[in-house]
Amino acid sequence: MTADDHDLVLPPPAPVAQAAELAPALAMWLQRLHAAGLGCQGVALHAADAAWRAPFERADVADAWAEARARVTRDSPVALSRVATGELMVATHLALPSGQPGIVGALLSPPHNDRSLQLLLLSLGWLQLTLSAASLAHNQRAAELLELMGHVASHRRARAAAQDWVNRTAAWARRELPAEGELRLSLFEVRHERTHWWVAADVSHAETGSPALRAAGEVAQRAFVEGRELVEDGVWALPLLDRGEVAAVLVAQGDASPAAQQVLRTSATLAEPLLRHWRTAELPLPVQAWRALRRVVDRLRGPGHRAWKVGAAAVAVVLVVLLLVPVDDRVTAHTVIEGRTRQLVTAPFEGFIAEALVRPGDRVRQGQVLLRLDDRELKLDQARLRGERDQAAAKLRQAMADREAASVALASAELQGAEGQLALVEAKLARAQLVAPIDGLVVSGDWVQQLGSPAELGKEMFEIAAEGYRVVLHVPERDIARVRVGQPGVLRLAGQPHAGHDFELSRVTATASVQDGANGFRAEAAWRGEVPALSPGMQGVAKVVVGRSNLLTIWTRESVDWLRLKLWQYWI
């Protein structure tokens, strides 16, 4: 422990407020004891609840009072003891209005006898009844206040609720006045540093120039300026605060007794904030926004509110960064790697796959056999057509030997038809083996597991990509107007997300396509620098640098463009 710790003095705990009905009840009980002829020097009450504690005024009997309280039990409900000065200390049980037990004490002067003790015990019934009656009146006021708030909350409009509240509150306060007493109640709200009449009891409208209203308005203005409760001849004004500032003033004209003031003070403190927020909620949105802005400015300009000022400074820094710091404006596009030159190998005729010699990913040389089609039927047709050709040739020779012109012409035509069909079959046989047209990589065409399956005429069997690759981008339609040839960019592939590869746009086409439900246009790019290890068909995400702009413009461009289009679409 340091030296400073020795000097540290903790503040005393805040005292607990005593029950309002306790002191008056004990004072009246003491008077009744004196009226009954008992020489009572003082009374006290002790309970577990600090609000129901009232010690003896004499400090010299504190120990005797504590010792008497300790002796009071269920079996021995009354404890008697003499103090040093000769008085008799009497302690006994008393039921509090809350239902909790308490101990009441009385200090009786000599002479002491049984009659004095009996009178004291009989008077405890009056004390208990008095405390219960005071508590019951308090509970009745609370119930009446809750009923009043229920009526106020049942309205839909702020003015109707305020009118109902002021009427019922005025009627409640008038019950606390003498029979001949009068009370007029008005509520003023504060706007632009001036008080303005809002509602009054028993009237729905008031003449602004009437003497009574002008007098009430002057008192309300003074109460607002001074910020305190005003009590004048026949007028009482109560300022109602909101965050330390006067937001409304309640003015009572007539006989505002202390009991009536207490009713008005309690009702206004509970109901006025609800009515004020209710009325504020009915204001137009621009007015509410303007008031909120003024409150924020006042907090930033005034003393205190350090958290608000720090937050405003942070927001200002963020806005400066968003508006004044330029960054690369980039367009994001889905990307596919394609070979620089691609060749398709198609089926030359209808047939069946007999043998597949390569698969996607294999590198092939020009002229290398890729696939063989079943040519058995073609060879049979070849043999048959060769026989027909030989027969036609023999007929032609015989006709020429017989020198019959008609037979020669007919045999010659038959020979030409047979030779033509034979040439067609032999051409198909020559193309029964599909060969690579160029050196490159087989991109598509996996037929190894589909031997014997049919191949239709013109069906795409293989795609071969030559050495060298290009980047093909699918640029979204909303960004195509900002993309130009020569713009740089960075690509990250799905299989190599850790590395970025630089490229430069080489071509922007007008070819549109739909990918993932979004319309876009095809753009091509060339590598810059060393070409990474690639394979056709690899996919990734590319970002093209189309200029420089601030972050706020970049982040809001899509929303602003959408809004512009909708406004144009629905503008009348």
Q: How would you label 394-426 residue by residue, b for 16+ Cβ within 10 Å and e otherwise? A: ebbeebeeeeeeeebeebbebbeebbebbeebe
- The CATH architecture assigned to 22-139 reads 2-Layer Sandwich (3.30)
Domain 156-282 sits in CATH at 3.30.450.40
The SS3 of residue 245 is strand
- The residue type found at 471 is V
Element (H, E) at 269: helix 258-281
From-to residues of CATH 2.40.30.170 in the chain: 468-570
264: which residues sit within 8 A by CB, 6+ positions away?
Answer: 169, 173, 185, 236, 238, 250, 252, 256
- Return the structure tokens found at 367: 């002229």
> What is the DSSP-derived secondary structure letter of residue 478?
G
Q: How many residues does the chain have?
A: 572
Residue 412 zone, left/alpha/beta (φ > 0; ψ -120 to 50; rest) = alpha
The SS3 of residue 557 is helix
Provide the β-strand partners of residue 481: none
What is the residue-wise DSSP string for 386-438? Answer: HHHHHHHHHHHHHHHHHT-HHHHHHHHHHHHHHHHHHHHHHHHHHTSEEE-SS
Pick the closest to residue 523 from 509, 503, 542 (CA basis).
Answer: 509
Placement of tokens 């413009």 in the chain: 553
CA distance 83 to 90: 11
pLDDT for the residue 467: 66
184: which residues sit within 8 A by CB, 6+ positions away?
Answer: 170, 200, 201, 202, 212, 216, 252, 253, 254
From-to residues of CATH 3.30.450.30 in the chain: 22-139
The SS3 of residue 545 is strand
pLDDT for the residue 296: 83
pLDDT for the residue 288: 81
> What is the DSSP-derived secondary structure letter of residue 96?
-
Instruction: List, for residues 328-347, the tens digit of each pLDDT value.
Output: 889 999 998 876 667 788 88
pLDDT for the residue 159: 86
CA distance 200 to 177: 19
- Return the structure tokens found at 425: 């079959």
From-to residues of CATH 3.30.450.40 in the chain: 156-282
CA distance 126 to 387: 144
For 192, phi and psi rounded to 5 degrees?
A: 55, 45
pLDDT for the residue 2: 43
For residues 25 and 127, the answer to whether their CB atoms sit within 8 Å is yes
Which contacts (CB < 8 Å, 24+ apart) does range 49-58 have? 49/96, 49/98, 49/100, 50/16, 51/16, 51/17, 51/18, 51/19, 51/22, 52/18, 52/19, 52/22, 52/96, 52/98, 52/100, 52/102, 53/18, 54/18, 54/22, 54/23, 54/26, 56/105, 56/107, 58/107
Instruction: List, for residues 231-251, the tens digit of each pLDDT value.
Output: 888 888 999 888 778 889 999
CA distance 369 to 362: 12
- The CATH architecture assigned to 468-570 reads Beta Barrel (2.40)
pLDDT < 50 positions in the chain? 1-11
The SS3 of residue 534 is coil
Write a three-state SS string for 274-336: HHHHHHHHCCCHHHHHHHHHHHHHHHHHCCCCHHHHHHHHHHHHHHHHHHHCEEEEEEEEEEE
Q: How would you label 17-47 residue by residue, b for 16+ Cβ within 10 Å and e otherwise? A: eebebbeebbeebbebbeeeebebbbbbbbb
* Other Cβ atoms within 10 Å of 335 Cβ, number: 24
